[in-house]
Structure 1
Amino acid sequence: MNTLGIAKHKVTLEVTETELLVLNSALNEVCNGIDIPEFETRLGATLTEVTVLLDEIGEVLDKMDALA
């Protein structure tokens, strides 16, 4: 992972497909595989917000796969 830019509330990253797959798998487990009491308190985001991020990462992975 390379940091391309940092601002107060935003960062631009360059990640490999492998790194993105790790994030995708971890978020999938958090959203679908395990029950976390106090989900929002522990993760700092709602289940809906994390699910949206998971979906967006999945879309990027699909686009990467289509290029192969």
Structure 2
Amino acid sequence: MQTTKIHTFRVEGMTCEHCVKTVREALLARDPAADVKVKLQGGEVRVSSSLSSDELIIAIAEAGYGVGLA
């Protein structure tokens, strides 16, 4: 059984709702069961997922955004 954890990230480079959608879809492509909340204001992303922080960071970075742990 995999444990679900809540991960919080700071994402740089999101400037519009299209960016929010891109980040959300990149994370859901890695873990379709994840609960993803993206806030454009402040660049915060919260993800409830069984994946590691590293895997989620890679997904965001591959979508073209700067990312780090919050």
Fold in common (TM above 0.5): no
Q: Whose helix fraction is larger, Structure 1's or Structure 2's? A: 1
| TM-score bin, normalised by smaller chain | 0.3 to 0.5
What TM-score comes out, normalization by structure 2 length?
A: 0.31
Q: Which one has more relative contact order, counting CA pairs under 8 Å at least 6 apart?
A: 2
For normalisation by structure 1, the TM-score amounts to 0.32
